[in-house]
Amino acid sequence: MKSGQATVVKNAGSHYLLSELPAWEVFPAVLRGKIRLKASEITNPIAVGDHVRYEADEDGCVITEILPRRNYVIRRSTNLSRQAHIIAANVDRAYVVVSLLFPEVKLPFLDRILVTCELYGIPATVVLSKTDLYRDEAAGQLARFKAIYEGAGYPVIETSVRTGEGIADIREACKGQVNLFSGESGVGKSSLIKALDPSLDPKIGAISLAHLQGKHTTSLYEMYPLASGGYVIDSPGIRGFGLVDVEKEEIARYFPEMLRASQDCRFTPCSHTHEPGCAVKAAVEDGRIAPERYNSYLGMLEEDKKFR
């Protein structure tokens, strides 16, 4: 009997595909019946990126144990049932793809995604796509965007699949890591992944999967190896990312620049709205914290009031 440790690279419905990374040698495995879901609201026991132990003999390969997750990305059903689905586990970095134009990014939307990444414990990079369309026309806006997000502590990579800008930088950053790519439809995420490795075509993959599996698809999430090194998980649609798990008092902790500044607030806890001696408000006033980010924070507090 052979046994070992491997990473889940795809949920293929009746079975999983595993590989012992960094080698890319994919083999099928089934889940042993006795592995039960610990949290009953989770609909899938194993997700792409999970590290598992397996045992193999002439009858096939069986997953015997799911190793503890370093982090995971979870999506709730929209219908307010308690059900949730783990999209990916053990992600080294999330690349959040946005464009300044076609479609124009809404900063509160981006900030919500970045807060979610912080909540999950996944370092995030902001990818500014399609720069060929606005590098000159919107130079001021581009500079401001970079200042806001680099100021908050996020790397910002400017890319264009037309000019090739930034592609080599992302390839380099992806090496040796599991990288989750997410972005609103139309931002150029598929084009970007294809530019990183022309042998990958996420659009075609997603369509054929949807066709084969219909609505109850469990396998839209798949890990691909990049020819240049590292792995990509393409995450279609990011709207399901929610703040359900975060208490209002905690939201500011997931804005890294606000967390840093809040050490000097006079009161603890401080909502950074009305309290005297609030170091976050002081930092917004003297420009160390971008007002755009602070406004996103206030918006999240408001929304929280509405829904709770």
DSSP for residue 222: B
Applying the rule CB under 6 A, the residues between 119 and 138 that interact with ligand GDP are 129-130, 132-133
Does residue 185 belong to the site contacting ligand GDP (CB under 6 A)? yes
Does residue 265 belong to the site contacting Zn ion (CB under 5 A)? yes
The distance of closest approach from Cβ of residue 165 to ligand GDP in the complex, given in angstroms and rounded to an integer, is: 8
Tokens at 308, concatenated: 């709770």
Q: Which is nearer to ligand GDP, 194 or 248 (CB)?
A: 194
Helices 189-196 + 167-174 axis angle, to 10 = 70
Does residue 270 belong to the site contacting Zn ion (CB under 5 A)? yes
b/e sequence 229-243, b meaning 16+ C-beta within 10 Å:
ebbbbbbbebebbeb
The distance of closest approach from Cβ of residue 236 to ligand GDP in the complex, given in angstroms and rounded to an integer, is: 8
Which one of 192, 280, 284, 290 is in contact with Zn ion (CB under 5 A)? 280
Site string for ligand GDP, 79-118 (x = CB under 6 A): ----------------------------------------
Applying the rule CB under 6 A, the residues between 139 and 178 that interact with ligand GDP are 160-162
Which one of 189, 272, 281, 293 is in contact with ligand GDP (CB under 6 A)? 189
With tokens 């599996």, the residue in question is 213
Alpha-carbon distance of 254 to 165, in angstroms, equals: 30
Does residue 187 belong to the site contacting ligand GDP (CB under 6 A)? yes
Q: What is the SS3 assignment for 186?
A: coil
Strands (E), 115-217: 124-129, 156-158, 178-183
Task: Name the residue type at position 51.
Answer: H
The distance of closest approach from Cβ of residue 201 to ligand GDP in the complex, given in angstroms and rounded to an integer, is: 10
The distance of closest approach from Cβ of residue 175 to Zn ion in the complex, given in angstroms and rounded to an integer, is: 39
Alpha-carbon distance of 296 to 298, in angstroms, equals: 5
Alpha-carbon distance of 21 to 9, in angstroms, equals: 10
Q: Which is nearer to ligand GDP, 130 or 281 (CB)?
A: 130
Of the candidates 110, 94, 117, the residue with the CA atom closest to the CA atom of residue 149: 110
Query: Which residues lie near ligand GDP (CB under 6 A)?
Result: 129-130, 132-133, 160-162, 183, 185-191
List residues binding Zn ion (CB under 5 A): 265, 270, 272, 278, 280
